[in-house]
Amino acid sequence: MERDGEKCIVFVQVILCQYGWTNFGVRCYKFFSQSTSWITAERNCIEEHANLASVHNELENNFLIGLLPSTTTTTRCWLGVQDAVEEGQWLWSDGTPYDYSNWCSKEPNNLNVENCGEINWTSDRCWNDASCSTSMGYVCKLEYDL
């Protein structure tokens, strides 16, 4: 790339994901259809050297929704967000900052002690807080140290 006699070097970083994982930016994601509780889903992600997916902007949120199977019914699945430590203080299981959310209207509401977050709830495809013992699929996110 050259402009007015100046040269600019552009570095492109490519992340190759393992088979079955999908690249977005410098991270890899995988949807698991196995229905399980939030804590079991997080443990399963850790076994994959990953965590339940954290979401930090609208593009990433839309990517995750696109990663879910297209069916006539919504495919609810766990995200890595929870407020089990302190009610109303949402944290990502991977330790990254809680800097974006896409909660549905009137959510999170902690109805019947709901401390874990799910994506793709209702036709609005937004987030909902749910009981952590509810069984549903999940998305793992593999973070690379660059």
DSSP, residue by residue, 103-117: BPTT----TTS--EE
pLDDT at residue number 55: 97
In this model, does residue 129 exceed pLDDT 70? yes
Question: Has residue 120 got a pLDDT over 90?
Answer: no
- Region 86-115: what's the mean pLDDT? 93
Number of domains in the chain: 1
> Mean per-residue pLDDT for 43-47?
98
Q: Which of 119, 53, 113 is nearest to 88 (CA)?
A: 113
> pTM of the predicted model, to two decimals?
0.85
Phi–psi pair at 111, nearest 5 degrees: -65, 125
Is residue 72 very low, low, confident or very high in pLDDT (cuts 50, 70, 90)? very low
**Residue 77's CATH number:** 3.10.100.10
Provide the residue range defining the domain that includes 124. 2-143
